[in-house]
Amino acid sequence: MTAPNISPTVDLGKFNSVVFADRLINWYVANRRPMRWHGADAYSVWVSEIMLQQTQAATVTEYYDRFMHSFPTVHALAAASQEVVLAHWSGLGYYARARNLHEAAKIVVARHGGNVPNSLNELLNLPGIGRYTAGAILSIAYNQPVPLVDANVARVISRLFTLNELPTSREGNKNLWAITSHLVPLQHPGLFNQGLMELGATVCTPTAPDCNKCPVTSLCGAHATVDPSQWPTKTARKKFVQQIHCSVVVRQPDGGVYLVRRPSRGRWGGLWEFPRVECKQDETPCEAAERAARQLLNVPITDVTMVTAVKHTVTHHNITLYCCTAQALEVPVTGEGIHLVSVESLPDYPLAAPQVLLRNQILCPAKFEIQQALTL
């Protein structure tokens, strides 16, 4: 699984790549934001890069610290159960990342003695590792001149060479990888790649690039135009689908509540949640709560009260999640997919971010009582 060697569509012979690399690296060393994973080993780089996919660095820091404290080595991660790994990922989103990272760690231990591979082909054969993550590991941890392209790098390169191709198109993506392959230097490739990403994240931003702070403006094609932000070529925005869901916190007289486990694959795969359904047309949240209890717990409920609502977005779906509380009229059959959980032990279960918000309200009784005044 070797990355193809493709010639770029721009004439790089006229571009001073040595000056570009020197300026970028010097700027990065002097201006980079302090991150926990700077100067880390291959495993730490791997974990941080997986977490940083689809997630801002400021959000990742807390999760990274907790994750590395519990799983400081590949061996520790491989030995953990998936449920424990997901619990540490709870709230970070895109949970397939955690499942793939866990599975890949087990492969690294079984096939590589716990040493993160230092070859492109071996890395690309691990679950959840694509060319970007492999490039980050090889360049940052192993000092190999391997390129990487993420959204920030794509934006910088598109403006640098005023590329008119759509970065997400097949040809546009190939061209970006070809250009970065030619630009990455033999010396300090990790600093170079991190500098490209940092420049895009902090200076060459999507809508308001701060060209006065950019170390390579004299080399940038977009800087010479009226509006540098017109690059890269924009994609048509996808329309968001509006959905209404309802979760029900079903209580037992002893104070316990019920959680159900989602299927291992798909959205929020393998996570636990308060029984939840998508509301039907003309169905109130309280009616949906009763249906959720019947379908997922197989019990009738009483004293159904709507207490709060949470709005969140998942892959082009804008979801309003209502939450109701209720009392069970019967005792559900618990087992692998249904657990009766004490309020105190709720934090031990991996929940998706919106379910974490509901959980936190249950753990804060005063706030929860205030929310009970909410009505449709």
Q: Which residues are catalytic?
A: 49
Q: Which amino acid is at 62?
A: E
| Category of 272 on φ-ψ map: left (φ > 0), alpha (ψ -120 to 50) or beta | beta
Q: Are 16 and 219 in contact (CB under 8 A)?
A: yes
Tokens of 369: 């009582």
d(CA 149, CA 204): 15
Q: Phi/psi of residue 282, each to 5°?
A: 70, 15
d(CA 49, CA 44): 9
Tokens of 28: 């990065």
**Tally of CA atoms within 13 A in the half-sphere of 239 that contains its CB:** 3
Residue 45 neighbours by CB distance under 10 Å: 23
**Tally of CA atoms within 13 A in the half-sphere of 140 that contains its CB:** 26
Q: Which amino acid is at 127?
A: P
d(CA 342, CA 167): 49
